């Protein structure tokens, strides 16, 4: 019976990997204040109040009833930023309403940390820790870049862009061995061309997502292992596909690879992919996203705020 009560109180959407740490700290402060007020009249009552409050925060993710709904509805963006819940807007233009055949313009994806509590939203694409050389090539428009290098072409059966057969073959020739052997720090660092010793980085698993970390902070994040494999494989394919891939800085490579990932029609781990609209929620906010997902495994390959697509 007691276990049933505990299970009823648990809210996985706001705890565990989905816990909002700043929200938890704030709720603990509230619990301490409430406990201290009660303790003025009854020390035992204050201790009990704090104990019950901590238990509720642990099980539910928050103390004050209705906190998620209230914060999503009433807290302004400036306050949400204090909690790391208002990510920087994606650098992408839009195509209006998105369905299974329409895609957002190729560009950076927005944060996926609100879905799995990877707090930083550090950077959506890979960020370089050194100053980029002014002579390094730049990609002004990803769509043009992909078309000019025969990576994408107009689809034969719909008004959209698709991977060319040749590049798709080259890409999956790199994906297949990675799917079997897995990926490590060296592979991720090499794919994005960081000018640093791989030993200075760590590849961390956070629920379904993957994060490349260094002593300076977050270097890159992916919503799934499949997305990371796709980027590493695409980088290797582009090395031989383009003349100047190695000259791009890590941030530019991140933008290119992230934009390219949403054109996959076969998941790196097998099966088809689907594109649709979903709602991503955290304890502090919620928003609609366009998501590209592996149908068989549920792994997320790409995610972008719907407001950025419509902008």
Give the model confidence (pLDDT) of 36-85 as tens digits. 999 999 999 999 999 998 988 888 777 776 666 556 555 555 555 555 55
In a domain, 72, yes or no: yes
71 and 173 share one domain: no
In a domain, 283, yes or no: no
146 and 229 share one domain: yes
Q: How confident is the model at residue 166 (pLDDT cuts 50, 70, 90)?
A: very high
Q: Which residues have a Cβ under 8 Å from the Cβ of 24 and sit 6 or more positions away? A: 57, 61, 62
How far apart CA 68 and CA 274 sit, in angstroms, is 29
Residues 168-171: contacts with CB within 8 Å, 24+ apart? Answer: 170/237, 170/240, 170/241, 171/230, 171/233, 171/234, 171/237
* Whole-number pLDDT of residue 294: 93
In a domain, 16, yes or no: yes
In a domain, 116, yes or no: no
How far apart CA 233 and CA 178 sit, in angstroms, is 8
In a domain, 285, yes or no: no
In a domain, 129, yes or no: no
49 and 153 share one domain: no
The string of pLDDT tens digits covering residues 252-300 is 999 999 999 989 999 998 999 998 876 665 555 566 777 889 999 889 8
What average pLDDT does the structure give for the chain?
Answer: 75
Query: Of residues 311 and 185, which shows the higher confidence score?
Result: 185
* Whole-number pLDDT of residue 190: 92
257 and 151 share one domain: yes
Q: Which of 82, 107, 130 is the last residue of a domain?
A: 82
Query: Of residues 226 and 122, which shows the higher confidence score?
Result: 226
146 and 255 share one domain: yes
**The residue count for the chain:** 311
151 and 227 share one domain: yes
Angle separating helix axes 21-39 and 43-60, nearest 10 degrees: 160
In a domain, 106, yes or no: no
User: Which residue range(s) make up the domain with 188?
Assistant: 142-264
Q: Domain tally for the chain?
A: 2
157 and 247 share one domain: yes
Query: Of residues 215 and 163, which shows the higher confidence score?
Result: 163
How far apart CA 198 and CA 182 sit, in angstroms, is 17
Most confident by average pLDDT, 108-112, 194-198, 234-238: 234-238
Q: Which of 82, 97, 115 is the last residue of a domain?
A: 82
HSE-up of residue 214 (Cα within 13 Å, Cβ side): 19
In a domain, 114, yes or no: no
> In terms of pTM, does the model score above 0.85?
no
């Amino acid at each position: 019976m007691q276990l049933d009560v505990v299970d009823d109180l648990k809210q996985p959407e706001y705890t565990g990997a989905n816990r909002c740490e700043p929200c938890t700290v704030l709720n603990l402060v509230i619990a301490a204040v409430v406990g201290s007020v009660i303790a003025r009249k009854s020390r035992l009552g204050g201790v009990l109040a704090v104990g019950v409050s901590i238990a509720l925060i642990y099980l539910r993710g928050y103390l004050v009833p209705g906190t998620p709904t209230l914060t999503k509805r009433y807290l302004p963006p400036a306050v949400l930023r204090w909690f790391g819940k208002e990510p920087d807007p994606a650098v992408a233009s839009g195509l209006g309403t998105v369905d299974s055949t329409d895609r957002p313009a190729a560009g950076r994806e927005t944060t996926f940390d609100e879905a799995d509590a990877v707090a930083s939203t550090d950077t959506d694409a890979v960020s370089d820790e050194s100053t980029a050389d002014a002579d390094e090539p730049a990609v002004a428009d990803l769509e043009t870049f992909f078309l000019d290098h025969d990576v994408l072409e107009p689809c034969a059966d719909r008004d959209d862009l698709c991977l060319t057969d040749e590049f798709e073959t080259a890409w999956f020739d790199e994906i297949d061995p990675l799917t079997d052997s897995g990926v490590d720090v060296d592979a991720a660092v090499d794919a994005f061309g960081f000018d640093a010793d791989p030993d200075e980085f760590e590849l961390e698993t956070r629920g379904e997502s993957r994060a490349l970390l260094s002593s300076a902070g977050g270097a890159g994040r992916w919503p799934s292992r499949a997305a990371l494999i796709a980027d590493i494989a695409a980088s290797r394919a582009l090395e031989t596909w383009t003349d100047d891939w190695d000259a791009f800085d890590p941030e530019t490579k991140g933008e290119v690879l992230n934009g390219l990932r949403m054109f996959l029609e076969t998941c790196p781990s097998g099966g088809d992919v689907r594109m649709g609209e979903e709602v991503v929620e955290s304890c502090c906010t919620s928003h609609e996203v366009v998501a590209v997902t592996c149908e068989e495994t549920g792994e997320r390959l790409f995610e972008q705020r719907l407001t950025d697509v419509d902008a």
